[in-house]
Structure 1
Amino acid sequence: MGVKVREKSAGSGVWWLFIDHNGQRKAKKVGTDKKLALEAAKKIEAKLTLGDMGLKDPEKKAPTFKEAADLWLHGYIKPLRRETTFERYSDMLKRHVLPTLGSTPINEIARKDVRELLLSVRAKGLSKASVCLVRDVMSGVFNHAIDDEIIEVNPVLGVVKRLNLSRDKQEEVEPLTKEEVGLFLETCKQNRPEYYPLFLTAFRTGMRLGELLGLKWGDVDWNGKFIRVSRSAKRGKITPTKTGKNRRVDMSDQLMNVLKGLQTQRKREALKKGHGVADGFIFLSREDEILSQNTVRNVFKGILRKAGLRDIRLHETRHTFASLLLTDGQSPVYVKEQLGHSSIQMTVDIYGHLIPSSNRDAVNRLDETQPSATQPQPAKIEKA
């Protein structure tokens, strides 16, 4: 038994370890630092000696994929990510991965196992985006196991690309027109007036639903005419915004007047009940509780039907806000700041087709700035 340090090619300056143990030989390149090579040799010799004397710790049994997934979900995702993310990942694993690979030791799962599982998920009729989400969740579990030194390789890497299962291109945004927004709001005012301030805020600020429901009166700056967006609400729980960053969104005159009217109404109601509204939430149910997102979505759909408008998601109010600003000639940078996008590239990727790409008057002005050019003359015709 022995571990030797030497240059594989004399004079090369590159040091190698040559290990001879129990009839097996192995060479390992260390690098150009001889001191580092000598230290590595000592450590390897110590490990080999302890192994021969029976003092080496027996190899731990690798956990099953389900056990590794539980460690990832509860040790990493739950404390660091949003609760909805934890629930979505847990559901994906429970429905699509654990029935097949849950009881398999994580170090025995090969690339072919991952490939076959993703193909079976795709065969169920799930979209490419859903298949990619299954891939991402599995990859997270394997990467966590690598960090815990349970496995050395992530078998998920590269599988989706080889199967041509990359996410579908983003669907084209189809926002409402200015006239359709007006029709929706008028219908809301007539049929569900208690929701009018909420939907007007949605169309005039482009906030996400959770951000709307998380607004408090203290977030409104009446003098500066803006709203500070710093939290989100879902299922009665308050969390940071989707990006984790705060932002300011401007208020139109109409929106400010409507919100002032709502605040006055709340103060009157509070006085009747014998308490104040100080810094309470702006949009509440009749029971003075934070509105349910599903309730708001259902009311939104009902108003669409009442107004005779096409069926769209409530999130389209955000797209509508952005599209109306861009088609009106506002800067994509301004729209990016109002929406709270992490980068201008995201704004351009989603709404690039709505940004005016040409202005014929501007092009014509280029001609006016140039000196008059000599008009081209017809070519002379040679006489025979």
Structure 2
Amino acid sequence: MGSGNGVEIREKSIRLFFVHDGQRCRETLTVAGKPALPTAANIKYAHRVAAEIRDKLRHGTFVLAEYFPDSPRAASAGPATTERNFGQWCALWLETKGRLAKNTLSQYGNALAIWQSLLGADTPMERITHATVAAKVGSYPWKSAKLLNNYLIPLRGVFALAGRELKAENPMEGIENSKHQAAAPDPLSTGEMERILADMRERFDPRVHAYFVFAFLTGMRPEELIALRWGDVDWNHETVRVERARTAGELKDLKTYNARDVDLVADAISALQAMKPWTFMGGPDAEIFQNPVTNRPWHDERSQRDHYWTRA
């Protein structure tokens, strides 16, 4: 009759399907020892059970006999085990970092996906040794030493978390960061800044020009600029209060965790005046700078960089 999210609705029963120990399982849901009829209440219950099973499979705590005691697979499964594999420990570590910014979590998730492809998501933790990790670190074609160092951060976290429970030797012991030297700063000269802004004034929407004028003359980070509101402007003292940032559409704390006031020179104030026709009537809680394509606040710092800064 229909299926989805691990639930298969049949004419006179409901089956749950999932992958357990590398095998595809289709088990009939029972209520009070009898096959559950496909009523609305039982279908809702089936989706809840399916979600529980997916969660326990992800954490390595699923026991087939607890849900399907009459299943032939339950009889042959042997003693239950709660040992997690590497992929499950990665998922658990990410859950412990749920308070981090969405963008940071996404980066950690991407890094751990690479490590799972290198070390094997299904590999038991006790089989991952120092030599195994060192070999992968040394042989993988990392784009840069800095990228490798960033990717080692969540990997160390996973093994540290697992080590507390398993009381096992940490295979990350002795895996050091790669040495890298950042390129020396090469700031634009005043003349170069003026040429870029002149090009932007000629080719782009005035809102783009105002954004980059303000960026140049305040030194604010892009994620701070796009979160700046009219209520943050002190016209009398010619300052703005910086106390929030936005990354990937999500408000977050400042990198320094401290709000600060930024003095405004005359051209920076002019950039604010240029934005008034578009966003000022939104009130003190309205963001100042706006994407001219969407007529909404900038979602993140990438769009203005990719579509305007790079072109200029």
Q: What's the TM-score bracket when you normalise by the shorter of the two chains?
A: 0.5 to 0.7
Say whether 1:231 aligns with 2:244. Answer: yes
State the 1:104 CA deviation: 1.7
Flag the 1:294–1:72 CA change in 2: closer, same or farther, 3 A: same
Amino acid at match of 2:309: F
For residue 180 of structure 2, what is the aligned residue in structure 1? 168
Task: Kindly indicate whether the alpha-carbon contact (under 8 Å) linking 1:232 and 1:238 is maintained by their aligned counterparts in 2.
Answer: yes
Aligned-partner Cα distance in 2 for 1:61–1:191: 62
Aligned-partner Cα distance in 1 for 2:277–2:117: 54
Aligned pair partner of 1:127 in 144, 147, 150: 144
Amino acid at match of 1:282: I
Flag the 1:216–1:67 CA change in 2: closer, same or farther, 3 A: same
Flag the 1:126–1:187 CA change in 2: closer, same or farther, 3 A: closer
| TM-superposition CA deviations, 1:177-224 (whole Å, max 9, x none) | 111111111221222222111101111111111111111111111122
Matched residue SS, 2:150 = helix
The structure where strand makes up a greater share of residues is 2
State the 1:61 CA deviation: 4.6
For residue 210 of structure 1, what is the aligned residue in structure 2? 223
Say whether 1:249 aligns with 2:262. Answer: yes
State the 1:265 CA deviation: 5.5
Say whether 1:104 aligns with 2:128. Answer: no
Runs of 5+ unmatched residues, structure 1: 1-57, 271-275, 304-384
For residue 285 of structure 1, what is the aligned residue in structure 2? 291
Matched residue SS, 2:207 = helix
State the 1:253 CA deviation: 2.1
Task: Kindly indicate whether the alpha-carbon contact (under 8 Å) linking 2:210 and 2:274 is maintained by their aligned counterparts in 1.
Answer: no
Aligned-partner Cα distance in 1 for 2:279–2:144: 45
State the 1:266 CA deviation: 3.9
Aligned-partner Cα distance in 2 for 1:151–1:59: 20
State the 1:60 CA deviation: 6.2
- Aligned 1:28-39 pairs, distance under 5 A: none
Flag the 1:264–1:133 CA change in 2: closer, same or farther, 3 A: closer
- Aligned 1:254-265 pairs, distance under 5 A: 254-263=267-276
Matched residue SS, 2:262 = strand
Aligned pair partner of 2:235 in 187, 208, 222: 222
Q: TM-score, normalised by structure 1?
A: 0.55
- Aligned 1:1-384 pairs, distance under 5 A: 61-74=82-95, 76-77=96-97, 79-121=98-140, 124-147=141-164, 149-160=165-176, 166-192=178-204, 193-263=206-276, 266-267=279-280, 270=281, 276-286=282-292, 287-292=294-299, 293-297=301-305, 298-303=307-312
Aligned-partner Cα distance in 2 for 1:173–1:242: 20
For residue 320 of structure 1, what is the aligned residue in structure 2? none
Flag the 1:104–1:137 CA change in 2: closer, same or farther, 3 A: same
Q: TM-score, normalised by structure 2?
A: 0.67
Aligned-partner Cα distance in 1 for 2:212–2:291: 14
Aligned-partner Cα distance in 2 for 1:265–1:159: 53
Amino acid at match of 1:288: N
The structure where helix makes up a greater share of residues is 1
| TM-superposition CA deviations, 1:211-262 (whole Å, max 9, x none) | 1111111111112222111212233322222343322222112212331342
Aligned-partner Cα distance in 2 for 1:279–1:258: 18
Task: Kindly indicate whether the alpha-carbon contact (under 8 Å) linking 2:240 and 2:262 is maintained by their aligned counterparts in 1.
Answer: yes
Aligned-partner Cα distance in 1 for 2:124–2:220: 45
Task: Kindly indicate whether the alpha-carbon contact (under 8 Å) linking 2:102 and 2:250 is maintained by their aligned counterparts in 1.
Answer: no
**% identical equivalent positions:** 26
Task: Kindly indicate whether the alpha-carbon contact (under 8 Å) linking 1:135 and 1:156 is maintained by their aligned counterparts in 2.
Answer: no
State the 1:264 CA deviation: 5.0
Amino acid at match of 2:90: A
Aligned-partner Cα distance in 2 for 1:131–1:195: 35
Task: Kindly indicate whether the alpha-carbon contact (under 8 Å) linking 1:107 and 1:151 is maintained by their aligned counterparts in 2.
Answer: no
